[in-house]
Amino acid sequence: MDSFAIASLELDGVEIPVVVAGDDVYDIRDVLPAVHRTGDLFTEWDANLDRIAEHIVDGAQPLGSFEALRTSVAARVLPPVQPVGQVIAAGANYREHIIQMSVAHGLGSDGASPELLRDEAAAEIDERVRSGDPYVWTGIPSAVSGAYDDIPLPDVGTDVDWELELGVVIGRTAHRVSVDDALDYVAGYTIVNDLTARSLVPRNDMAKIGTDWFRAKNQPGFFPTGPLLVPARFLPDPTAFQMLLTLNGQVMQDATTDDLAFDVPALLSYASSVAILQPGDILITGSPAGNGSHWKRFLRGGDLVESTISGLGGQRNLVRSPSGVLPPWQAGRP
């Protein structure tokens, strides 16, 4: 068959690993009874995909349509990989995004024109790719949410920003992997919106240390992920994805992954040189130009964020206002 995707649904409170082919949804347990969660597929990823394909071709009975199940009050679309793995995130990794920010902040020669600032930024990117390393940090699994879940604005922190990113799901344990072999460790691809509370990035009480990505990026619901995990066998070229994010219907980000500074093999090789990557971990690859910092417009309660990456489906997230109740750590402080 042409292609299919893996997803995780919660139906009447029960988690079900499913395959999505077209708009039809099939229960993976019907063909692979030992698979209780999608993460169980990684033990024999390729063989399990082959069995799933045969099952569908042989006339399996679908549970229903994805759209009908997605909108059912009895269902919730979970992040596609269950249990959720660790998040390994690359920053400052889209050329146009870096150039745009360099020009906006005047990062370059004193008195340089915007054109010269662009040229200087482009040259700096080329040099970093040639002789430097990707900029990578980590996110925690509890911040990962579903593709249609609300985005809860935090009670501490403001200026919450969007960052649409290609998510690369690891399928095999990867440690010290070469660039040439890196794609062999990729199970598939998904969509991730890497949200950031910009006001929480600087640590004014510890200026010598600088940024605090833990509190700025790991709030509950700050990594909407999915809805689908599309196997890499169906998407062999990770430089060919079209990415689009809209806010209340207005285009904010519109780019392709061929603008990556460090490509997927380079990012995976670098990350695996530092840490052991496990099946189910998600490597997010950076965000293109057009986030809220550029537009000087951050998320507000009632906003609708819609994100798509070609071949991977789309996300739809309503933004929820802060609850107004401070956590105990902050509540009693002056």
CA 268 to chain centre: 15
The helix/strand/coil state of 20 is strand
The helix/strand/coil state of 10 is strand
pLDDT at 68: 96
The whole-chain average pLDDT of the chain stands at 96
Segment 137-156 mean pLDDT: 97
Nearest Cα to Cα of residue 46 among 181, 188, 176 = 188
Segment 98-127 mean pLDDT: 92
Segment 271-278 mean pLDDT: 98
pLDDT at residue 104 is higher than 90: no
The residue count for the chain: 334
pLDDT category of residue 331 using cuts at 50, 70 and 90: confident
Residues of the chain with pLDDT > 70: what percent?
99
pLDDT category of residue 267 using cuts at 50, 70 and 90: very high
pLDDT category of residue 250 using cuts at 50, 70 and 90: very high
Q: What is the pTM of this model?
A: 0.97
pLDDT at residue 103 is higher than 90: no
Residues of the chain with pLDDT > 90: what percent?
91
The token pair at 87 is 């998040």
Segment 160-189 mean pLDDT: 99
User: Please, what are the domains in the chain?
Assistant: 5-78 (no CATH), 87-93+136-331 (3.90.850.10), 96-133 (no CATH)
pLDDT at residue 134 is higher than 80: yes
The helix/strand/coil state of 227 is coil
Segment 102-119 mean pLDDT: 91
pLDDT at 225: 99
Helices (H) then strands (E): counts for the chain:
8, 20
- Dihedral sign for Cα atoms in the order 153, 159, 164, 166: negative
Phi-psi region of 176 (alpha: psi -120 to 50; beta: other; left: phi over 0): left
pLDDT at residue 256 is higher than 70: yes
Sheet holding 250-256, edge to edge: 151-152, 314-320, 304-309, 242-247, 250-256
Segment 70-88 mean pLDDT: 96
pLDDT category of residue 101 using cuts at 50, 70 and 90: confident
Segment 60-71 mean pLDDT: 96
**Residue where the block lists tokens 């599309």:** 230
**Burial class, 199, CB count within 10 angstroms (exposed 0-12 / middle 13-18 / buried 19+):** middle
Segment 265-289 mean pLDDT: 98
pLDDT category of residue 334 using cuts at 50, 70 and 90: low
CA 139 to each of CA 170, 196, 216, 259: distance values in angstroms, whole numbers, following the listed order: 15, 11, 10, 23
- Dihedral sign for Cα atoms in the order 142, 311, 164, 177: positive
- Residue 196 half-sphere exposure, CB side, CA atoms within 13 Å? 21
pLDDT at residue 333 is higher than 90: no
Give the model confidence (pLDDT) of 289-316 as tens digits.
Answer: 999 999 999 999 999 999 999 999 999 9
The helix/strand/coil state of 14 is strand
Give the model confidence (pLDDT) of 211-243 as tens digits.
Answer: 999 999 999 999 999 999 999 999 999 999 999
Q: Do 230 and 215 contact (CB within 8 A), yes or no?
A: no
- Residue 319 half-sphere exposure, CB side, CA atoms within 13 Å? 20
**Dist CA 51 CA 71 (whole Å):** 29
**Burial class, 73, CB count within 10 angstroms (exposed 0-12 / middle 13-18 / buried 19+):** exposed
pLDDT at residue 127 is higher than 80: yes
